[in-house]
Amino acid sequence: MKKVIILGASDGLGKSIAGLCIDEKIEVINVSRTPSNVSGVINIACDLSKQEDIDNTVKAIKEKYNDFDAIINCAAIVAMEKINEISYSKFEKAFKINTIAPLYFLSSLFDNIVKNEADILNIGTTADLKAGFVDQLAYTSTKYGLRGGSYNLGLELSKTKSRMIYVHCGGMNTQMHEKDYGKKIEDPTEWMDTKDVAGIVFYLLRLPKQVEITEITISRKGRRLM
């Protein structure tokens, strides 16, 4: 891998993956609203809830960074309203960012992905296994959509050299829940470190090209879903 595009490398897991890539001399193009402060990362400002921003980002990638080897999608928001309190606008926003944006982005770059023999890695959640969690109807639904879209992309890529990897990721020590809901993590030692998950993502992408792990679950210890 020489060049990687990351959706959402300004924070959390994406930022840790970006750091790992830079350490390994891999060029990183970050796509998010705020720039990544990881030194050496190239930033493209993009609000993934806006089609125009996505189209401009795709255009910039085709013009300047077309020789990418992988696209890693870490961008998402949580949506954790109580079942009878979810607003239409929250449903819409969560679907736009978590589901439509990455799938539309990937389909817009599909021909380039195939030509480059590039891999795709989408970060899902353990909420998109079985029923998900209470108070997460919108979030669970968006990630099930991402999961379904990833299967379809995998099908489209099955006769190519590109791989589609889907990660059901459990709870990590990030500020994701705090940003929108003010929910602080009480005991960070019980949550996964993004650096450890980033290492697994990196391992998956660096497997020999004839090996394809299509789907993997990474859980916090003791939180496996039955």
Ligand X SMILES: NC(=O)c1ccc[n+]([C@@H]2O[C@H](COP(=O)([O-])OP(=O)(O)OC[C@H]3O[C@@H](n4cnc5c(N)ncnc54)[C@H](OP(=O)(O)O)[C@@H]3O)[C@@H](O)[C@H]2O)c1
Please give the C-alpha separations between residue 86 and each of 28, 82, 137, 184, in angstroms, as whole numbers: 36, 7, 8, 21
* Percentages (nearest 5) of helix, strand, coil residues in the chain: 45, 15, 40
Shortest distance in whole angstroms from residue 23 CB to ligand X: 18
Exactly one of 37, 51, 175, 214 binds ligand X (CB under 6 A); that residue is 175
Q: Does the footprint of ligand X cover residue 128 (CB under 6 A)? A: no
Cα of first residue to Cα of last residue in the chain, in angstroms, is 36
214 binds ligand X (CB under 6 A): no
Nearer to ligand X, 157 or 176 (CB): 176
CB of 134 to ligand X, least distance (A): 15
129 binds ligand X (CB under 6 A): no
CA dihedral 9→13→15→19, nearest 10 degrees, is -130
Residues numbered 32-61 forming contacts with ligand X, rule: CB under 6 A? 32-34, 46-49
Site string for ligand X, 133-172 (x = CB under 6 A): ------------------------------------xxxx
Minimal CB distance residue for ligand X: 12
Query: In this structure, what DSSP letter does residue 192 have?
Result: B
When the beta carbons of 111 and 178 are compared against ligand X, the nearer one is 178
Question: Between 34 and 214, whose beta carbon lies closer to ligand X?
Answer: 34
Kindly tell me which residue out of 97, 106, 138, 204 binds ligand X, with binding defined by CB under 6 A.
Answer: 97
H helices within the chain, ranges in order? Answer: 12-23, 51-64, 88-95, 101-108, 110-116, 137-157, 176-181, 194-206
140 three-class SS: helix
Q: Cβ contacts of residue 18 below 8 Å, gap of 6+?
A: 6, 9, 28, 30, 36, 38, 41
Rounded least distance, CB 83 to ligand X, Å: 19
Residue ranges in contact with ligand X by CB under 6 A: 8, 10-14, 32-34, 46-49, 74-77, 97, 123, 125, 169-172, 174-176, 179
